[in-house]
Amino acid sequence: MTIYQPSDDSYLMQETIADYLKNKPKSISILDMGSGSGILAETCRKMGFENVVAVDINLEAVENLKKLGFNSIQSDLFSDIRKQKFDLIIFNPPYLPEDKREPEDSKLQTTAGKKGNEIIIKFLQQARVHLSKDGKILLLFSSFSKPKKIKQTAKEIGYEFNLLNKKFLPFFEELFVYELIKK
């Protein structure tokens, strides 16, 4: 399995995070879920945030993140995150619907389930208990991920959400970055 390398989604999230964190206290705790190459965790660190935990399901990514000096945990979403609470959870998840033609090794990096949102919904269900009292989530997903279903589910779970950034891509795809706040 290879490490997910930055692409349009990563760069959009990086830009959003850099703007979002400008005036935040450097002491906040940050969880970079699905860290991959570590581009988002590295962005936080370069801005002076030292309390950053990088999580990925891919052991190769976790080992690489450790070499880069991050506190890194191998976990399938929150399965191995023990009772920790974070002020900010960032997640650039797999967000595409299943494509039977895609090679198995890349599906883990790109595919969020048959509809393209199952991993995102599972993440939202699990994330609430890992947010501090005033904790927030920055979440990226695609117009191919059935955004209405994601927002509906987020609302049902008890999140308020604000669109922070978006980008149009070729082939009629649009990427969105939302801030989610638990009510």
* Residue range 110-165, pLDDT digits in tens: 555 555 578 899 999 999 999 999 999 999 998 888 889 999 999 999 999 999 99
Q: Give the rounded distance of the alpha carbon of 158 from its chain centre.
A: 19
The helix (H) or strand (E) run that includes residue 133 is: strand 131-142
DSSP state of 113: S
Q: Global pTM?
A: 0.89
* Residue range 55-70, pLDDT digits in tens: 999 899 999 999 999 9
Q: 183, 170 in Cβ contact below 8 A? A: no
The domain limits of the chain are 8-182
Class of domain 8-182: alpha beta
Rounded to 5 degrees, φ, ψ at 123 are -60, -50
Q: Give the closest residue to 91 by CA, choosing from 123, 134, 50, 132.
A: 123
